[in-house]
């Protein structure tokens, strides 16, 4: 994926791919999807959680992302390009959520790292299916970057720029983490570059996890609720990953500025 950008217009196929990416990345956030699923405002779920829930969620999210980064650096590598196995990963995430849901918030420090690792594997599968080489450290970190995408945006107009704003905010921390890992080849939580990278992702990922936890607190389908909500949770990140890695595939061919301009033009026209 390191070929020099091609100067020139996007083909019709590339524009269709970009339009698909935009439709995925601009979808309503997880909060709206979960609210539609549980049939009640998530505020009801937040009210049912214990007083220390925010601390528990943030700590669990940070720990889960560190473990996921370790998995990415140690094990993600290049494999033959193929269709991603989205359904299999949904089953695995749903099973994890169903088991964790039976024990409530107390299970989050155990269940979230498992679910996050499953989601990372699914995100990596999507990246490979879009032609990205996961033996490259930048591609591995791009998989982690997906966890920062598609937060609780309720305004479709704002969502159109949220993707690019998030990437711009993450760019320096991602670059520093990539440089550090290229030199050291190992994840150290105390390294400033790693700490900044994880902190920036955790701030966004933690908000999404909070929405998932609140939805699980709403009495909907008993123990099956955790299974259903986790499937929606991983579906959200599969959508973000598909859109993100389509955009990055096209950027490798045409450059980021050209692709961003075409992406934003899609908001004004219909293909």
Res 137 pLDDT > 50: yes
Give the pTM: 0.84
The single-letter DSSP state of residue 15 is H
Judge contact between 132 and 72, C-beta under 8 A: no
| Cα 147 to Cα 48: distance, rounded to the nearest angstrom | 26
Reported as a pLDDT band with limits 50, 70 and 90, residue 265 is confident
Rg (CA), the chain: 18
Place of tokens 């990963």: 89
- Backbone phi and psi for residue 102, each to the nearest 5 degrees, phi listed first: -70, -20
The reported pLDDT for the residue numbered 184 is 87
The reported pLDDT for the residue numbered 221 is 47
Question: Taking Cα atoms as reference points, which of 263, 34, 61, 238 lies closest to residue 162?
Answer: 263
The residue ranking higher by pLDDT, 228 or 153, is: 228
The reported pLDDT for the residue numbered 81 is 64
Residues in Cβ contact with 187 at an 8 Å cutoff, skipping those fewer than 6 apart: 66, 69, 70, 73, 181, 194
Least confident of 8-17, 35-44, 164-173, 196-205: 35-44
Res 28 pLDDT > 60: yes
| Cα 226 to Cα 213: distance, rounded to the nearest angstrom | 9
The reported pLDDT for the residue numbered 68 is 92
């Amino acid at each position: 994926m390191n070929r020099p950008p091609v100067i020139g217009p996007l083909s019709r196929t590339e524009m269709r791919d970009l339009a698909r990416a935009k439709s995925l990345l601009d979808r309503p956030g997880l909060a709206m999807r979960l609210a539609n699923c549980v049939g009640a405002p998530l505020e009801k779920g937040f009210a049912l959680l214990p007083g220390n829930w925010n601390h528990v969620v943030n700590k669990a999210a940070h720990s889960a992302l560190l473990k996921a980064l370790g998995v990415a650096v140690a094990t993600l590598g290049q494999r033959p390009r193929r269709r991603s196995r989205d359904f299999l990963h949904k089953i695995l995430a749903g099973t994890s959520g169903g088991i964790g849901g039976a024990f409530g918030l107390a299970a989050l420090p155990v269940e979230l790292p498992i679910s996050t690792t499953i989601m990372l594997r699914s995100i990596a599968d999507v990246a490979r299916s879009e032609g990205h080489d996961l033996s490259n450290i930048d591609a591995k970190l791009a998989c982690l970057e997906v966890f920062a995408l598609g937060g609780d945006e309720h305004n479709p107009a704002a969502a159109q720029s949220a993707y690019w704003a998030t990437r711009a905010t993450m760019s320096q921390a991602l670059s520093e983490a990539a440089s550090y890992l290229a030199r050291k080849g190992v994840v150290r939580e105390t390294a400033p570059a790693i700490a900044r990278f994880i902190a920036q992702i955790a701030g966004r990922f933690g908000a999404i996890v909070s929405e998932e936890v609140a939805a699980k607190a709403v009495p909907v389908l008993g123990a099956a609720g955790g299974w259903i909500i986790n499937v929606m949770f991983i579906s959200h990140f599969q959508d973000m990953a598909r859109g993100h890695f389509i955009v990055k595939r096209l950027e490798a061919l045409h450059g980021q500025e050209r692709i961003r301009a075409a992406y934003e033009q899609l908001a004004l026209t219909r293909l």
